[in-house]
Amino acid sequence: MKKVLLINPYETEQDGFTNPPLGLLYLAGALLPNGFDVRIVDGCREGREAVISALRDFQPHLVGITCLTPGRHKAIDAARMAKELVAGCRVIFGGAHPTIMWRQMLVHYNDIDVIVIGEGEGSLLEIAQGRELSSIPGIAFRGSDGIPRQTSVRPLIQNLDQIHFPAWHLIDIRKYQPRGNRIFRGIDLSAEPRISIIYSRGCTGHCDFCSTWWIWRGWRHRSPGNMVDEIELLYNKYGVRHFCFADDAMTVNREATIQLCNEIIARKLSIAFHVTTRTDCVDIEMLKKLKAAGCYTIAFGIETGSSELLASMGKENEIQRSISAIKWCRKVGIPVTALIIIGNVGENEKTLSETMDFLKKTHPDEVGCVGGLWILPGTKLYRDCRARGLIDDDFWLSDEPFQTYCEDYSLDELRHLVKRFVCFKSILRRVMDKLRRWSRR
């Protein structure tokens, strides 16, 4: 039996928080029914030594490593360890960064043998089955002449219900951290691990800072019944009560979202879940259904309070729609996190004031801000910055995780601006806590 080890690289957590490696769990779900011996090591959760031990002890034939841009050098280190510890193994990379930068990675990192481009379940299975690489769509590899080459584009899986459930039994779900600070319908969010699930792939937006469109090329969703079958499995077999829909825009299809909520309610699943979506993809009736099904918080990609910047970044949304969405959430009783970016292209005191005015007007419960506009490969922003000579492809060979856009404000100025919004967030939280106490009187 061919052995496959799937690795989530170490030290790639975000804000100190680690989600289960959902992409690897899906890949394992595709391999296991086809007779492969599959293991997953979550280096992000278990650390670098756990990756070394798994390689040394398991001696896999194939090593699959997921790779995002900020943590690409940890993934490259894992590939190097695989080649040192497992003679003759084939190392396969997948994820956003190698999908976009496949040629550069194959030219500069000899420990990588094959790159899966985009959706990975079918491509990895065919690699594991031993098919000739040149006949497998959706991959890149070095030819006999050492030159990287890409095969034909693999069609996307249109019926997501055909994909096997993630192989949840390959990880210890209870080891993953909770993420919350309250009790929701009897569920202690500070004690229950928050487990990621996904209802859809892709997004309808074309934001210039995002590469989702490059990976997923559109938006597709599972059937409500199939999604709730997985939730019910996690609920009954693993005791999961706390979920996070990891979709980029979970509620794009109104009817499918409402059907999903109805299915959760009909099966009497007492759960709590977090949703991220767009403000133009909700309405008050949908929000009522989400709340009834267990939605305890929702995050909206607001980005800015400036209509001018929204248009220039390709957000394809309107400020008034965001104001209405947050108002509806407040009426229904779903707390809102407004995700914003400080330092957008064309940012100035006027646009910053518009963003602050938006937050004062809408009073979201939380404000999420990463502290600058990240320039990432595969985005329109990256192409524009490269054309202006602000960055080039060689940057991704450096040790820097990403580059922050600094044409309108320096890094120090951006840090100061972010502090202004963080201070406002603290004041806002105290105001919202007071409002909630008054509403309970």
Please give the Cα distance from 277 to 283 (Å, whole number).
Answer: 12
Give the position of tokens 């949703």. 275
**What is the predicted pLDDT for the residue at 181?**
79
How much is the pLDDT for 18? 80
Mean pLDDT, rounded, for 42-61: 96
Instruction: List, in sequence order, the alpha helices (H) in 109-199.
Output: 121-128
| Residue 8, CB-side half-sphere exposure with 13 Å CA sphere | 24
Residue 99 to residue 125: CA distance in whole angstroms: 17
**pLDDT 10s digits, 186-203:** 999 999 999 999 999 998
Residue of 327, 356, 361, 358 lying closest to 422 (CA atoms) = 356
Give the residue with greater pLDDT, 365 vs 293.
293
Question: What pTM was estimated for this model as a whole?
Answer: 0.92
End-to-end CA distance of the chain: 65
Neighbours of 301 (CB within 10 A): 23
- Give counts: helices (H), strands (E), the chain: 16, 19
Mean pLDDT of 356-362: 93
